[in-house]
């Protein structure tokens, strides 16, 4: 019985011992970062990233420029449309009130407060 237990013990220990000598580990990340080939590869990847970043930044600037130009164009068109509407109101208002000249307030140095028709025009514009 002791012989069988001894043989079983040896039988079970031998395969584990044999297997433990066949198993090894390797740190792939260490090899990638520290080998000459890995360092060279990383430099190439960094160069590609830098080139792509430069391309993207250039495209981004172009897109911002285009976007700003489009926004400014829309803004100008919208303001022009509103100014046209205000001008039509001013023309009709001047005919109704027998006003010969209307000047933008920013170009006037001194005038009486009753000459300011801004509030009247605002009421008409908001209708």
pLDDT of 65 reads: 87
Residue extents of the structural domains in the chain: 37-125
pLDDT of 46 reads: 93
From 84, 92, 90, select the one nearest 103 (Cα to Cα): 90
pLDDT digits (tens), the chain, 127 positions: 555 555 555 555 555 555 556 777 778 888 888 899 989 999 999 999 999 999 999 988 888 888 889 999 999 999 999 999 999 999 999 999 999 999 998 998 888 888 999 999 999 999 8
pLDDT of 113 reads: 86
CA-CA distance, 29 to 49, in Å (whole number)? 20
Cβ proximity of 85 and 125 under 8 Å: yes
Cβ proximity of 53 and 89 under 8 Å: no
pLDDT of 17 reads: 55
Report pTM.
0.55
């Amino acid at each position: 019985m002791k012989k069988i237990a001894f043989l079983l013990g040896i039988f079970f220990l031998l395969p584990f011992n044999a297997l433990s000598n066949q198993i090894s580990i390797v740190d792939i990340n260490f090899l990638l970062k520290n080998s000459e080939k890995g360092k060279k590869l990383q430099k190439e990847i960094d160069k590609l990233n830098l080139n792509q970043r430069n391309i993207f930044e250039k495209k981004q600037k172009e897109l911002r420029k285009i976007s700003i130009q489009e926004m400014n164009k829309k803004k100008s068109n919208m303001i022009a449309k509103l100014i046209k509407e205000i001008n039509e109101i001013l023309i009709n208002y001047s005919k109704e009130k027998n006003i010969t000249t209307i000047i933008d307030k920013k170009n006037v140095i001194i005038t009486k407060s009753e000459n300011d028709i801004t509030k009247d025009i605002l009421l008409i514009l908001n209708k």
